[in-house]
Amino acid sequence: MANPAIVTVDDDPAVSRAVARDVRRRYGQEYRVVRASSGAEALEALREIKLRGEQVAVLLADYRMPQMNGIQFLEAAMDLFPLAKRVLLTAYADTDAAIDAINLVDVDHYMLKPWHPPEEKLYPVLDALLDAWLSTPAAPEGEVRVVGHRWSAESFAIRDFLARNMVPYRWYLAEDPEGARLLTAAAAGESDVPLVITPEGKSLVRPSEAELAVHVGLSTTPAADFYDLAVVGAGPSGLGAAVYGASEGLRTVLVERSATGGQAGQSSRIENYLGFPDGVSGAQLTERARRQAQKFGVEMLAARDVTGLELRGSARVLTCSGGTEIAAHTVILATGVSYRLLDVPGVADLTGRGVFYGSAATEAPACAGDDVYIVGGANSAGQAAVYFSRYAHRVHLVVRGPSLEASMSHYLIEQLRSIPNVQVHPCTEVIAGHGGEHLERLTLRHNQTGEAREVDASWLFVFIGAQPLTGWLDGVVERDTQGFLVTGPDLVLAGRRPSGWRLDRDPYHLETSIAGVFAAGDVRANSVKRVASAVGEGAMAVTLVHRYLEAQ
């Protein structure tokens, strides 16, 4: 097979030659450099590469090109080679415009022209991107194929699980000719959907997440009998804890019930995270953290729902769904929170069929030309509104309060104001959902005037409140009235330590009512609900793990 390609696109012949020359000088032995003078020419080259079954590692595109600018090209190229790393070349004068455009597309890096000397400004960037591309699991021979119905909650759950775990797949409607052919070939009928066909040709009828994970190459079974540290939950705090734990020599296992990234992993754009001035998508941040964890040897288990925690001597033992047990010296609970259900008539029956919790990025292209309703007034809802505005005819942000200022970051409010097809509805609530096969209408009510009205709506995305995923710890670890885990000084009331506490010291700052069991991130009572603080708490928890282990 031919070497993977590095594709460069620039309409200026001199710049195009210079880019190709510098790239070929450093990477020509291992990569094939393909040069194009326009976005259309580059897309045609990509289609030919795709037809030959070859790979593309990096795309470098100039921002300012006629007919199709660099952002538009990179967005179109994603459909052909979604795993290729994307670099935008921009002149200093275009920096602000480029950054604004980057917020609309997941670009891995933007680079100012000129980049001389390349040894300092070009090669380090490409080295890092190529390393990241090489460490990304390649799509297996063939591909995962999913057959289902458009408005099926089960079909959506399968697609969402695959997308959030970065497993490439192709989606077929059961009623379309190709979908019907796949069903016939698998000796299945429309009642057997969702049907998943693995790259090896195995047919899975309505598979569970655990079953699906095994067949698409995700690890679900612990490889060791005992660990120094077990982390439950792979959101920002869990990933942070796993990276710091493993990098400091602890045998670390990370257990996740669904997909890495948690709620943050579904964010279309996080713009106030330190070190990313042009913003970073939740998927990008999650993927980088996942690679970092793997680099340090973290064992990552997917589709494992932890259902119990108990003490057995010096061991803390986690019980997973299916009966699997994971024993460790210490545990960090980083299970995060889930969005509260919208408890109004008609909505529950339409979940996954027009009503979704979180951003559900897999559904965005299907929203093209439609009106989208988003419920919530915090950053996650605002980020979703920005993202869906790229696809929808109009995005309606339904906010219970009188304004966004009390709950949303200033930068995001300003960004929403600049997007013409985003409309904010303050003092408004959804009080009912209506539909048969899928969501068709919503009833909205103004909570000050009491006026109610019905609107046509096929898409509703809900971002309201947060509830901790700690029911499985009831009676085991001390929780507050809302279910958040109580830690550190909050456990020592009037000088009295938690019931059952056997040590002579008070609990450490992030330690729960069980010694050696810590909590980090959103699941912890009184935590700051931000990605940066969650990552910081994960790292801090590892420091306290070391302190605990040294005292044993």
pLDDT at 72: 85
CB atoms within 10 A of CB 365: 10
Is there a shared CATH topology between the 5-135 domain and the 226-338+467-551 domain? Answer: no
The CA-based dihedral angle spanning residues 385, 149, 260, 129, taken in that order and rounded to the nearest 10 degrees:
-80
The tens digit of pLDDT for each residue in 31-41 reads 999 999 999 99
16: three-class secondary structure by DSSP: helix
- The proportion of the chain whose per-residue pLDDT surpasses 70, expressed as a percent, equals 95
- The proportion of the chain whose per-residue pLDDT surpasses 90, expressed as a percent, equals 63
172: three-class secondary structure by DSSP: strand
Take residue 327 and report the two structure tokens written for it. Answer: 């024993």
Q: Is the pLDDT of residue 139 over 80?
A: no
- Average per-residue pLDDT in the chain? 90
pLDDT at 500: 83
Least Cα distance to 218 among 181, 150, 166 occurs for 166
DSSP for 346-369, please give it.
TTGGGBTTTEEES--GGGGGGGTT
Residue 448, class by beta-carbon neighbours within 10 Å (0-12 exposed, 13-18 middle, 19+ buried)? exposed
Mean pLDDT in residue range 233-238: 96
The tens digit of pLDDT for each residue in 308-336 reads 999 999 999 999 988 899 999 999 999 99
Q: What are the φ/ψ torsions at residue 174 (nearest 5 degrees)?
A: -60, -30
Ranges of each domain in the chain: 5-135, 144-215, 226-338+467-551, 348-462
pLDDT at 140: 46
Take residue 535 and report the two structure tokens written for it. Answer: 């990552």
CATH of range 5-135; options 3.30.2350.10, 3.40.50.2300, 3.30.70.1400, 3.40.640.10: 3.40.50.2300
pLDDT at 102: 62
Q: Is the pLDDT of residue 213 over 50?
A: yes
Q: Domain 348-462 belongs to what topology?
A: FAD/NAD(P)-binding domain (3.50.50)
* Residue 43 · residue 77 · CB < 8 Å: yes
The tens digit of pLDDT for each residue in 238-282 reads 999 999 999 999 999 999 998 888 877 777 778 788 887 767 777
Residue whose pair of structure tokens reads 């020359």 in the numeric block: 21
In this prediction the pTM is 0.77
**How far is the C-alpha of 307 from the C-alpha of 549, rounded, in Å?**
25
Mean pLDDT in residue range 176-195: 89
144-215 homologous superfamily: Glutaredoxin (3.40.30.10)
Q: Is the pLDDT of residue 76 over 90?
A: no
CATH code assigned to 226-338+467-551: 3.50.50.60
Mean pLDDT in residue range 341-351: 94
Name the pLDDT band for 360 (thresholds 50, 70, 90): confident
Name the pLDDT band for 237 (thresholds 50, 70, 90): very high
